């Protein structure tokens, strides 16, 4: 395929918005708040930011530069550079291939809440109301409903992919990203003005080193275990939030122009991602502190909710604070927009890989990809269904089919891919290979010395620790 036939962004702004939109997904609006609450609030925030500005920034810069250098999807780009390392591209694409089907299903769950709040009268108080704890369980246990809304969310994502890079993905993000940002600020402002919300704001934003201390026999002492747990959680969140080791940044980088500044783009993407993550916490943590359920503190309300935070805890919290229906509806529209931009980025990664491999048109590669997604959606949609108990709902390592794939992708494949990337760039290609690409067309790379140190030593050591810890935790050997 000739280089000139490769699609491209209209400019650096289009690339930044698309990449930031990929990063700003359920990781920011769902996962980040409850992990922050669970691991000490402000102290988790501090650890997360340190990792984001060091290892996260250097890994993102690497992926973008590799994509622009090869002008190919990750499935073929790594093999083009070093044939024996083509497996790394397969690993990156595998992450998106595993995540996308269940991400589509979760997107369908969010779409269901949008429909519910848009069309169900405010005065309904029974199980049909989204704030009722039975609403979510009734919905996901209904196979036809779960598949219907997952299919609708998939159709929305596929539409933008078919339209292409400039006319589909880029135009979508130029509308959704500013709307998402201002809507998040409005909801966070409303929540933070609620009575007693100030305690949640303090817990969330003010680092407290005492969170690393535990009391034993009346004596307080520093807990190395608690520090490790916080670092592991923050590192895992960083991978999930920044879309690292998923092939997305490599794919989006392959559409980037040589004159665009990669280093500046990375910082802009991380800034957008971080701001939305902070605002997400301000939407959720103060609300839980102000209106915790009976018998629970605000910290418990957020952290113990876990994955159910978005679909069970928050609707109840919004109802308790007597928020106008429009506020709650706007919140779920916001989450839907974030989920949509991330699902589009994963679909584009897979579509691009098929297109590069088979030399097909965009429409044909999307059609083939759609068949895969629609088939894989079924077990993810039905694993909670009462009608399919004993088949799709069988647990492996104590996890349902959806949870198992989430663990496999985020706790095994992503850190494994990131570790392999560090070895590939740091020791096979050498850091100067990436530095030269970044400094193309007169651009500068101010952090090139730090980059070399990080990609060769700091990042692979940290990531190896995370990988081993996550696997041991998944096997229930240790408790993280």
Domains in the chain with CATH codes: 3-395 (1.10.4160)
What integer pLDDT is reported at residue 10 of this predicted model?
78
User: How far is the CA of 224 from the CAs of 100, 275, 407, in angstroms?
Assistant: 36, 30, 25
Its pTM stands at 0.90
Q: Residues for the chain: how many in total? A: 480
State the average pLDDT for the chain: 86
Query: Which of 105 and 220 is assigned the larger pLDDT?
Result: 105
Give the least confident one: 1-15, 172-186, 228-242, 347-361.
1-15
pLDDT band per the 50, 70, 90 thresholds, residue 393: low
CA 354 to chain centre: 23
| Rounded average pLDDT over 74-100 | 94
Judge residue 144's burial from the number of C-beta atoms within 10 Å of its C-beta, 0-12 exposed, 13-18 middle, 19 or more buried: exposed
User: How far is the CA of 235 from the CAs of 28, 239, 240, 307, 480, in angstroms?
Assistant: 14, 6, 9, 18, 13
State the alpha helices, DSSP H only, in 141-170. 143-163
Query: Which of 238 and 305 is assigned the larger pLDDT?
Result: 238
Give the least confident one: 258-272, 391-405, 459-473.
391-405
- 132 in the Ramachandran plot: left (φ > 0), alpha (ψ -120 to 50) or beta? beta
CA geometry: angle at 304 spanning 299 and 308, to 5°?
120
SS3 305: coil
Query: Which of 74 and 213 is assigned the larger pLDDT?
Result: 74
């Amino acid at each position: 395929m000739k280089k000139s036939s490769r699609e491209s962004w209209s400019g650096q702004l289009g690339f930044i918005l698309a990449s930031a939109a990929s990063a700003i997904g359920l990781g920011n609006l769902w996962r980040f708040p409850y992990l922050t609450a669970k691991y000490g609030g402000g102290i988790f925030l501090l650890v997360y930011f340190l990792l984001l500005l060091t290892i996260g920034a250097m890994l993102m810069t690497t992926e973008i530069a590799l994509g622009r250098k090869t002008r190919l999807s990750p499935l073929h780009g790594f093999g083009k550079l070093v044939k024996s390392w083509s497996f790394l591209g397969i690993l990156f694409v595998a992450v998106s291939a595993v995540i996308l089907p269940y991400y589509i299903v979760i997107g369908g769950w969010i779409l269901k809440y949008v429909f519910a709040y848009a069309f169900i009268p405010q005065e309904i108080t029974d199980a049909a109301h989204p704030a009722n704890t039975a609403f979510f369980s009734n919905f996901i246990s209904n196979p036809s409903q779960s598949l219907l809304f997952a299919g609708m969310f998939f159709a929305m994502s596929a539409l933008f992919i078919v339209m292409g890079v400039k006319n589909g993905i880029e135009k979508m993000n130029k509308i959704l990203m500013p709307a998402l940002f201002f809507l998040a600020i409005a909801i966070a402002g409303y929540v933070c003005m609620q009575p007693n919300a100030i305690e949640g704001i303090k817990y969330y934003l003010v680092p407290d080193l005492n969170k690393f201390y535990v009391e034993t026999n009346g004596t307080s002492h520093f807990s190395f275990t608690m520090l490790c747990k916080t670092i592991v959680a923050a590192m895992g969140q960083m991978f999930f939030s920044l879309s690292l080791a998923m092939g997305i940044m490599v794919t989006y980088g392959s559409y980037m122009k040589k004159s665009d500044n990669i280093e500046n783009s990375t910082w802009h993407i991380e800034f957008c991602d971080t701001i939305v993550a902070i605002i997400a916490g301000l939407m959720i943590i103060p609300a839980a502190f102000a209106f915790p359920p009976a018998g629970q503190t605000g910290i418990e309300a957020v952290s113990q909710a876990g994955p159910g935070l978005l679909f069970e805890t928050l609707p109840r919290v919004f109802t308790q604070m007597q928020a106008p229906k429009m506020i709650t509806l706007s919140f779920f529209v916001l989450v839907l927009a974030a989920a949509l931009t991330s699902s589009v980025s994963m679909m584009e990664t897979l579509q691009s890989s098929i297109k590069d491999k088979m030399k097909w048109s965009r429409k044909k590669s999307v059609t083939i990809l759609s068949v895969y997604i629609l088939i894989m959606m079924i077990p993810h949609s039905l694993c909670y269904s009462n009608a399919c108990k004993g088949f799709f709902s069988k647990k492996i390592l104590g996890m349902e089919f959806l949870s198992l794939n989430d663990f496999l992708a985020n706790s095994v494949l992503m850190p494994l891919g990131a570790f392999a990337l560090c070895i590939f760039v740091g020791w096979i290609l050498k850091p100067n290979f990436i530095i030269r690409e970044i400094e193309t067309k007169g651009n500068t790379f101010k952090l090139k010395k730090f980059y070399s140190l990080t990609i060769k030593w700091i990042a692979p050591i940290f990531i190896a620790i995370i990988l081993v810890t996550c696997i041991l935790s998944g096997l229930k050997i240790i408790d993280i």
